[in-house]
Amino acid sequence: MSAPAIPAPRTVTLPTGTSLTITEYGDTGGRTVLALHSGAGPQTLTGFATALSEDAHVIVPTYPGFNGTPGQPTVATVADLAEAYLDLLDLLDLSDVTLLGNSVGGWVAAEMALRDNHQRIGAVVLVNACGIHAELPANRIVDTRLIDPAEIGKLSFANAAFRPDFAAMSDAQRAGAAANQVALARYGGEHFTFDPALRARLHRVTLPVLVIWGEQDHITPIGYGRGYAGEFPDSRFVPIPDAGHFPQIEQLDATLAAFEDFVDSVRKPGEPR
């Protein structure tokens, strides 16, 4: 059986003049999910977005500067990404959006939840997210700028079968991956994987929050994930066995089940799934 076709991306222009590239899965009849990718790129969410699109409208933006998209002068930090995607929700007139973010996408999602003064977001799902400073040395995030790509793959995936084969990549693919990392470093700023002030602000997020975590993540340890969940007033933590930094890839069914159980629990009566 062939893999499902990935929808063609489209470009939208915000009132600020910022151009954003988005890929949409499913139709607009169901619940809307805004899914924010990791530093590895939007392709890490393709399978999950495809699965969700059976009964949801899933929007996957590509961060400016990733996958060959042009950088935007108005979008240079994680906070800028958060503001741009809140503007996107306004532009598309979306409400009660379920916000999902993996890795740095989780950091963007947390910043969006703090800034959502138009109340566009209904719930937040963080998947092996970064963004807060670890209180304990054992829970600190690995600085991937200091290790080679093959080692990153070993730390990110519990199952070797899912690790990227960098030796088999073309020169163009390697150049694209390197460009993504340059863009990621720009967004991360001085501390790269966290904002020192973010943890202290999370108590202001009154939305329901689900924190999903691959138990064998050696980039962002599970203790870091439990600490992240503990900073929100209304949160639950769901560990995913036999998965690393990308549980939506290694354990799609278990991750999808945790997501759907959470969505069902916070959905208002009569609201589409």
pLDDT at 3 over 90: no
Span 173-199, mean pLDDT?
A: 95
pLDDT tens-place string over residues 43-70: 999 999 999 999 999 999 999 999 999 9
What is the DSSP track for 7-42?
A: PPPEEEE-TTS-EEEEEEES-TTSEEEEEE-BTTBG
User: 267 pLDDT band (50/70/90 cuts)?
Assistant: confident
Q: Mind listing the pLDDT tens digit for each residue in 121-170? A: 999 999 999 999 998 999 999 999 999 989 999 999 999 999 988 888 89
Residue 1 reports pLDDT greater than 50: no
Domain count, the chain: 1
Residue 75 lies in a domain: yes
User: Quick one: pLDDT at residue 211?
Assistant: 98
Within-domain flag for 269: no
Q: Is residue 3 domain-resident?
A: no
> Which conformational region is residue 26 in: left (phi greater than 0), alpha (psi within -120 to 50 degrees), or beta?
left
Statement: residue 272 has pLDDT above 70: no
**241 domain residue, yes or no:** yes
Cα 91 to Cα 12, 77, 110, 120, 180, distances in angstroms: 9, 21, 20, 11, 26
Read off the CATH number of the domain in which 98 is found.
Answer: 3.40.50.1820
pLDDT of residue 6: 82
Per-residue pLDDT tens over the stretch 196-242 = 999 999 999 999 999 999 999 999 999 999 999 999 999 999 999 99
Query: Tokens standing for 115?
Result: 């800034």
Q: 231 lies in which domain range?
A: 10-264
Which band of pLDDT confidence, cut at 50, 70 and 90, is reported for residue 30?
confident
- 181 falls within a domain: yes
Alpha-carbon dihedral 213, 271, 15, 40, rounded to 10 degrees: 20
Q: Where are the alpha helices (DSSP H) in 9-132?
A: 46-52, 78-91, 104-115
Asked whether residue 5 is assigned to any structural domain, the reply reads no
In a domain, 82, yes or no: yes
- In the numeric block, which tokens belong to residue 219? 């980039």
- 261 has a pLDDT exceeding 60: yes
Residue 272 lies in a domain: no
Task: Provide, rounded to the nearest whole percent, the portion of the chain with pLDDT above 70.
Answer: 96
pLDDT higher than 80, residue 2: no
What mean pLDDT is predicted for residues 83-106? 98
**Position 124, amino acid:** V
pLDDT beyond 80 at 88: yes
